[in-house]
Structure 1
Amino acid sequence: MYDWANSVHALVIVSSIFPVYFNATALKAYGGPEMDFFGTPIKSSVLFSYTVSAAFLITALVIPLCTAVADNTGRKKAFMKFFCYLGAVNCMLLYFFTRDTILLSVFLFGLSLVGWSGSIVFYDSYLPQIATEDQFDRISAKGFSMGYFGSVLLLLFNLSMILAPSFYGITDKAIPARISFFTVGVWWILFAQIPFKYLPDAIGNGNKRAEGWLFDGFRELKKVYAELRQQPYLAKFLSAFFIYTMGLRTVMYVATIFGASELKLPSDSLIITVLLIQLVGIVGSFCFAWLSGQIGNIYALMVGVTIWIGICAGAYYTTEAKEFYVLACTVGMVMGGLQSLSRATYSKLIPDDTPDTASYFSFYDVTEKMAIVVGTFIYGMVEQVTGSMRNSILALLVIFVLGLILLYRIPSRKVYHYDLNQGN
């Protein structure tokens, strides 16, 4: 149910309505694609990429401190709530996003990302606590599919306001998008109360010392890193995960901007395309869970990364709307499937005797956040230097190829993590 609650942010704020509204508002405010960001001229699409990079860099720096306190005190759920409310409230404040508040809204968007990504760290760490290992693939996929389904319901409502504002008595065409941002925050907070009620509180390690806690999180990350040396396949998986996540998550954040800026697609077409991605993604999550049961997690991940390579190649040559829609459907099939399978695979590789799963998932999520930082920065930098998003797509293609090579180093077997880590 937390996937149901928070996925509206990924869909409405990150992937569909906000990027389109941001791009359109910037064009109206500055008369072109280039903005004035505190005296620095920068394209709106590049600023969007850099904002994502900055938000996830902040999360990567802050999360180790929070997980240290969560592990020492058992207050994992409290931190999950804090980041949830931080993200949701900033979404609600985006209701005031106009051409006069565009720079402030960039910061609100960044803070909403910090809240979303921070809460996911603690949410992910619950998986080993609430499920047995043979259930990881199925439950992880179920969470992503619930997220897709819930976010689609809210997007349909928001889309109805945008396409038929007169039905709701709205005369200002900008209001429906701003109401959409507000509804994301309300939806997020409302449905998050269900997991907050039923998820167990974390069990602390009894070390509730006040001194030295500030650096405990980084010590825990160092400890996990040291333990990786004793678990070679887990280390190899994280290396591959870091690389292919750079490409995967970057595509998720910039796809709509690409369609709007490079292909000049109309706003309603872009939003409907994102809606289609979510519906296909529900099927894709379960398909990859089934595929992992047939050929093993690693081979299933390799299939997904190979498809992503094809997506990037296709996007580079895409010039028509129909081609973009075909690519969007393909993205939907592999987007959620690869994410849910990655989370499940990591859960399987964590040692059985690990009491503080928050530390291990902190390492996993810091790895993911840094991958997003690097990926979105590379994408924005290549566009800024070359002036073309298509060159940025080529850079992502190279990243996916490297990720596939790293996955190839890991044996794929339908076994549990203690067999993989011992190499048996």
Structure 2
Amino acid sequence: MTESPASKPVPAREIISWAFYDFANSGYTTVVLTTIYSAYFVGVVAAELDSGEPGSATLLWTLAIAAANFIVLISGPIVGAIADFRASKKAFLFASSVACVAATALLSTVGPENVAFAVLLLTISSVAFTSGENLIAAFLPEIASNKNMGRISGYGWSLGYFGGLLTLGCCLAYINYATGRGLDATHYVPVCLLITAIVFAVTATPTFVWLRERATPQKLPPRKGYISAGFGHVLTTLSHARQLPDLFRFLLCIVLFQAGVATVVVTAAIFAQDVMQFDSQQLIILIMVVNLTAAVGAFLFGFAQDRFGSVNSLVAALLIWILAIAVALQASSEADIWITGNMIGLAMGATQAGGRALIGQLTPVSHNGEIFGLWGLANRTAAILGPISYGVINRLSGGDHQLSLISTLVFFVVGLLVLLTVKEQRGHAAAARAN
């Protein structure tokens, strides 16, 4: 069971410490998945694969990300259910954070001569990162009520984008220093990975010092261990689909639109590098500006959710996504990429904060870890479908990134159509009855 935050106010320091985890882990997303390492992997580490078959390096990158997400797809709901039984979300969160920091630091030791080891470390770091995302999200209903959940979720995402900015800023400063002395990417990218690991470790500390575990341990069913109980818990949750139709409909919606979001996150730098010939400094500056826009989007849409409703706010965000991808499809100049990037930033901040908050609002409090495990499952399914679709189309088309982007647009359009069928108030009432 979990204490209700509605009856016991949560200290501001604790809310800030929860949000600081988003600040801490955002450096991993921006440096490893989105900006510096993704372009480095395709352009340097796995570049030889493209010499005979264009698009192969991009496909390998998307397959590695998909493999990591498949692992979390299987393990996420189980870890969430076990965390509920043992009231140990914080312990699991700490373990995943240590693993992500360590694997990211080790990536700095791997060069073009060892592609397989690079893929292994990338997969480990991504598994640890996404597991941590599931676990930190499961704390949200413990520290927020339905009335302020959108706002608090928005605080987290908004602060997270500033965390990404801090890490990118440190990396950009070092890249400028290194290039000024004639050093190339094989020197400064490993240093950027070390910077990312250090920032993550240091800035995650407040979360583990001040965030409380409000859940209390539950007794295991007779003759069951944690794994079997976890599988049973997940199956029970899935059996609740009839009682929580809007929650499960929104989980389907997340699979669709997050497939588009996940694709943009892991291929944006590759697209800008290969299609528009952006260099490392340009890529970092672009993503820094996008992070600022995303922080504004997360902050403003958090308030919009609480004022106009989560579904209405998310509809607006998905319309911005669709327009942004449409602009990217006809991009012919750097200006088009800058316009697209800022629209994506605004929409990304809104969808990330909004999706997490709406799941929290539609979830029975007594099943936080369990439902957020399914939320993670939906996100991981999306992170498999989206990037693989992009990578396969890119490989079959001989490296045509704009053709690959069409699949991303389809995910957003279909996701919007499903979202329009979600009834927010009905979902709130169903969650209250299920407690």
Question: How far apart, in 1, do the equivalents of 2:220 and 2:211 lie?
Answer: 22
- Confirm or deny: 8 A CA contact 2:39 2:270 kept in the other structure: yes
Question: How far apart, in 2, do the equivalents of 1:378 and 1:331 lie?
Answer: 20
Q: 1:314 aligns with which of 318, 327, 335?
A: 327
Alignment CA distance shift 1:316-1:15 (3 Å): same
Give structure 2 stretches of 5+ with no counterpart: 1-19
2:399 paired with 1:382: no
Alignment CA distance shift 1:381-1:166 (3 Å): closer
TM-score w.r.t. structure 2 length? Answer: 0.89
Alignment CA distance shift 1:42-1:256 (3 Å): closer
Residue 100 of structure 1 is matched in structure 2 by 113
Equivalent pairs, count: 412
Alignment CA distance shift 1:130-1:159 (3 Å): same
- Confirm or deny: 8 A CA contact 2:325 2:340 kept in the other structure: no
Following TM superposition, by how much is the alpha carbon of 1:338 offset from its aligned partner in structure 2, in angstroms? 0.7
Q: 1:23 aligns with which of 32, 39, 42?
A: 42
Residue 263 of structure 2 is matched in structure 1 by 250
- Confirm or deny: 8 A CA contact 1:59 1:369 kept in the other structure: yes
Following TM superposition, by how much is the alpha carbon of 1:318 offset from its aligned partner in structure 2, in angstroms? 0.8
Residue 366 of structure 2 is matched in structure 1 by 355
Following TM superposition, by how much is the alpha carbon of 1:17 offset from its aligned partner in structure 2, in angstroms? 1.1
Q: 2:417 aligns with which of 405, 409, 421?
A: 405
Following TM superposition, by how much is the alpha carbon of 1:319 offset from its aligned partner in structure 2, in angstroms? 2.0
Alignment CA distance shift 1:382-1:146 (3 Å): same
- When the two chains are superposed, the root-mean-square deviation of aligned CA atoms in Å is 2.3
2:177 paired with 1:160: no
Alignment CA distance shift 1:364-1:35 (3 Å): farther
Alignment of 1:317-332 (within 5 A): 317-332=330-345
Alignment of 1:53-72 (within 5 A): 53-72=66-85
Question: How far apart, in 2, do the equivalents of 1:92 and 1:26 lie?
Answer: 16
Question: How far apart, in 2, do the equivalents of 1:355 and 1:34 lie?
Answer: 54
Question: How far apart, in 1, do the equivalents of 2:68 and 2:264 lie?
Answer: 16
Question: How far apart, in 2, do the equivalents of 1:112 and 1:319 lie?
Answer: 35
Q: 1:183 aligns with which of 195, 220, 223?
A: 195
- Confirm or deny: 8 A CA contact 1:73 1:208 kept in the other structure: no
Instruction: Determine helix, strand or coil for the equivalent of 2:148.
Output: helix
Question: How far apart, in 2, do the equivalents of 1:64 and 1:76 lie?
Answer: 12
- Confirm or deny: 8 A CA contact 1:232 1:421 kept in the other structure: no
Q: 1:365 aligns with which of 369, 373, 376?
A: 376
Residue 7 of structure 1 is matched in structure 2 by 26
Alignment CA distance shift 1:66-1:419 (3 Å): closer
Q: 1:286 aligns with which of 294, 299, 323?
A: 299
Worse overlay, 203-212 or 330-339: 203-212
Question: How far apart, in 1, do the equivalents of 2:341 and 2:35 lie?
Answer: 12
- Confirm or deny: 8 A CA contact 1:8 1:188 kept in the other structure: yes
Question: How far apart, in 2, do the equivalents of 1:108 and 1:24 lie?
Answer: 18
Name the aligned partner's letter for residue 265 of structure 1: F
- Confirm or deny: 8 A CA contact 1:231 1:421 kept in the other structure: no
Alignment of 1:144-155 (within 5 A): 144-155=157-168
Q: 1:221 aligns with which of 234, 248, 258?
A: 234
Q: Structure 1, residues 130-150: CA drift from partner, whole Å, max 9, x if none? A: 122212111101001111112
Residue 207 of structure 2 is matched in structure 1 by 195
Following TM superposition, by how much is the alpha carbon of 1:86 offset from its aligned partner in structure 2, in angstroms? 0.9
Q: 1:392 aligns with which of 404, 420, 425?
A: 404
Question: How far apart, in 2, do the equivalents of 1:194 and 1:311 lie?
Answer: 36
Following TM superposition, by how much is the alpha carbon of 1:97 offset from its aligned partner in structure 2, in angstroms? 2.5
Residue 141 of structure 1 is matched in structure 2 by 154
Name the aligned partner's letter for residue 290 of structure 2: I
Alignment CA distance shift 1:161-1:43 (3 Å): same
Q: 1:45 aligns with which of 58, 69, 79?
A: 58
Instruction: Determine helix, strand or coil for the equivalent of 2:366.
Output: coil
Identity across the alignment (%): 25
Q: 2:348 aligns with which of 335, 339, 348?
A: 335
Worse overlay, 204-213 or 5-14: 204-213
Worse overlay, 158-167 or 76-85: 158-167
Alignment CA distance shift 1:294-1:139 (3 Å): closer
TM-score w.r.t. structure 1 length? Answer: 0.91
Alignment CA distance shift 1:33-1:218 (3 Å): same
Alignment CA distance shift 1:137-1:263 (3 Å): same
Alignment CA distance shift 1:35-1:131 (3 Å): farther
- Confirm or deny: 8 A CA contact 2:50 2:57 kept in the other structure: yes
Question: How far apart, in 2, do the equivalents of 1:46 and 1:264 lie?
Answer: 19
Alignment CA distance shift 1:132-1:421 (3 Å): closer
Following TM superposition, by how much is the alpha carbon of 1:374 offset from its aligned partner in structure 2, in angstroms? 1.1
Following TM superposition, by how much is the alpha carbon of 1:393 offset from its aligned partner in structure 2, in angstroms? 0.9
Name the aligned partner's letter for residue 118 of structure 2: S
Name the aligned partner's letter for residue 130 of structure 2: S
Question: How far apart, in 2, do the equivalents of 1:294 and 1:359 lie?
Answer: 28
Q: Structure 1, residues 11-65: CA drift from partner, whole Å, max 9, x if none? A: 11111111122233147x52x73489xxxx9621111111111110011112233
2:311 paired with 1:298: yes
Instruction: Determine helix, strand or coil for the equivalent of 1:96.
Output: coil
Instruction: Determine helix, strand or coil for the equivalent of 1:262.
Output: helix
Give structure 1 stretches of 5+ with no counterpart: none
